[in-house]
Structure 1
Amino acid sequence: MDNDHITNKSRLKKDLDPEEMLRVIFDYAAKIANERVLENVLMLMADMGREMIVSDRCTVWLLDSSKNELWSKVAHGLDEIRIPKSAGLVGYAVTHDKAVFIDDAYTNEQYKTYLLNGALATDQQTGYRTKALMVIPFRNSQGDIIGAYQAINKLTECEQFSDKDMEYLTLASSYAGKSLESALLTNEIEETQKEIIFTMGEIGESRSKETGNHVKRVAEYSYLLALGLDLGNEEAELLKIASPMHDIGKVAIPDSVLNKPGKLTDEEFKIMQQHTLIGYNLLKKSKRHILKTAAIVAYEHHEKWNGRGYPRGIKGEDIHIYGRITAIADVFDALGSERVYKKAWELDRILQLIQEERGEHFDPKIVDVFFQQLPAILRVREQYADAASEEPADIQ
């Protein structure tokens, strides 16, 4: 077997028997039913198809009608890729509503033009050797094509896909269409939630003459700190989405207090402190995970590690980790921004204060992570810097 061949004897496998096929289908059906993240659903779909027909690679493509493109975020061995809707073999299958079955990509004449623009061009770039190919479009419940399965290289001794493989992948495609339709709807709902949350956060800040970039920066800082604390990508992303709502309660604070250029009186400061409780009460009844997280952030981001914060004066690890993270993200950004009552601090002065407040205002562990993540934090600060023409900000 020459070096260009994709398979070798150590990699050869056997087709699944009926019992193994049922196990694969039921196992993946259960996993897919419990998965909410679109990218994870796509990966599970790809894995299911690959195992069912014993292929080397399986890619699930989705049609992005708004951009007239096909995209895949989980092609095995590849990062996200996007192609024009009509490009390559998968583009042909989708635009012509036709399943494609090829024994050898390098000798096939019928689809030569599409192969040269697709699989064979990719082979030249990567050194991979494409031989057998199958592409099967799939539909949503209205019958519209929303994507396609693409399988590459059979890993059995014959190295060619069979009619039975086509039948199995068609079955997987039918299931994929219905499942991905549901996942896409869930994804759209969650993206809408994110947009609403971010917009509401901007509204809260705009009343205190803060710029929208403040909530962007606090969100990104919180994300970096959560990653540095090993909370995991999913939880870090959750905090990033929720943290823009930290000051949403300011919508109910009078302008005379919110935008006072001088120092607040004791009575005014008590009014200002109410924004944490107001924000919490606005959000706490939601059953949505994102809004429940936002409620925690709104409630606890002014608590202090030493117990001298507000509104409840709780301390240490009694403060939720989300509140402790957002606290340092918010203070770092506030000190570096212009306010109606102060000029922006120099970076060295800010960093000195954060170090001094380790174990006082801030969780010592989070301060340590803050300094570890400082290069990335400063890149975010520069990326989302306020334009000089924007209004000065106000945070209490």
Structure 2
Amino acid sequence: MLSSTAISVRVCLNAVEGLRSPRLLNHESRVADLSVALGERMGLAGGHLQFLRHAASLHDIGKLAIPDSILGKPSRLDPEEWLHMQQHADFGAQILRNTDDATMRHTADIVLQHHEFWDGSGYPAGLRGDAILREARIINLCDVYDALREHRSYKAPFRMGRRCESSCKAIHLGDRAPRVSTQTCLLSLNATTTFSAALSTRPDEVLGTETPYSAL
């Protein structure tokens, strides 16, 4: 069960995000919805899903520390800008660790790892396999899925299919759970009403506005 401190901190930080970038907040909200939908299909329940939504709702909080010239760039980032953007995972963990609340400190660990990939190709630490927290792996896939499905000034949204599938990574729930293929995950996400519901309530990133938003 989430602590009252964790809930209050999340509400305050999301309010700041909404003032800085409504698109960022909408993206986080969709990723939270998708993460819970996928978590349910993988057998998570109760407090695990509650915490998963909490962490997903803050996964990009570190982008508050990224300059507008990078966060709002209407084209692809150059290599130097991309290295700076990658720091948002570490920035987010630093923000969330400024509390003695155990829930927020665990959330910080997930935020730090939400761009790590099963094969070790992610960042910031290049973790692989079960070294990556389960919640971070679920959020990672849903984050990539949402980013691929959204319209950006430099790309059209990917449709569900091979191109989208090849851009996502497989995730794993641990040694006691079966491997879940990328295709299974994407079919699960696409089959839920969550993405359609998210479009109707938080449509700005997906329905083709030209407001810039550069980073995956």
Q: Compute the TM-score of the two structures, normalised by the length of structure 2.
A: 0.79
Query: Deviations for 1:31-84, whole angstroms, at most 9, x for unmatched residues?
Result: xxxxx78xxxxxxxxxxxxxxxxxxxxxxxxxxxxxxxxxxxxxxxxxxxxxxx
Structure-2 residue corresponding to 1:210: 23
Larger strand proportion of the pair: 1
Structure-2 residue corresponding to 1:274: 87
Q: SS at the partner of 1:312?
A: coil
Q: Which runs of 5+ in 2 are unaligned?
A: 173-178
Which residue identity does 2:132 align to in structure 1? I
Determine if contact 1:302/1:311 at 8 Å carries over to the other structure. yes
Matched, 1:365 2:180: yes
Structure 1 residues 345, 317: closer, same or farther in 2, change over 3 A? same
Structure 1 residues 255, 319: closer, same or farther in 2, change over 3 A? same
Structure 1 residues 332, 311: closer, same or farther in 2, change over 3 A? same
Determine if contact 1:210/1:392 at 8 Å carries over to the other structure. no
Matched, 1:383 2:181: no
Query: Deviations for 1:294-334, whole angstroms, at most 9, x for unmatched residues?
Result: 31232111111110110000101101111101100100000
- Size of the aligned set, in residue pairs, is 203
Determine if contact 1:259/1:340 at 8 Å carries over to the other structure. no
Query: Deviations for 1:161-214, whole angstroms, at most 9, x for unmatched residues?
Result: xxxxxxxxxxxxxxxxxxxxxxxxx76x6654442243345456x1xx725321
Deviation, 1:292, is 2.3
Question: Which of 114, 125, 131 does residue 312 from structure 1 map onto?
Answer: 125
Structure-2 residue corresponding to 1:51: none
Question: Which of 48, 63, 73 does residue 260 from structure 1 map onto?
Answer: 73
Determine if contact 1:276/1:300 at 8 Å carries over to the other structure. yes
Within 1, Cα distance between the matches of 2:186 and 2:157?
20
Deviation, 1:341, is 2.5
Structure 1 residues 203, 301: closer, same or farther in 2, change over 3 A? farther
Q: Which runs of 5+ in 1 are unaligned?
A: 1-35, 38-185
Structure-1 residue corresponding to 2:39: 226
Matches within 5 A, 1:49-60: none
Matches within 5 A, 1:1-396: 192-202=8-18, 206=21, 210=23, 212-349=25-162, 351-353=164-166, 357-358=169-170, 362-363=171-172, 364-365=179-180, 367=182, 368-376=184-192, 379-385=193-199, 386-387=203-204, 388=207, 391-396=211-216
Deviation, 1:373, is 5.0
Which residue identity does 2:195 align to in structure 1? R
Deviation, 1:259, is 2.3
Which residue identity does 1:384 align to in structure 2? A
Within 2, Cα distance between the matches of 1:211 and 1:251?
10
Deviation, 1:242, is 2.0
Within 2, Cα distance between the matches of 1:282 and 1:191?
15
Determine if contact 1:300/1:311 at 8 Å carries over to the other structure. yes
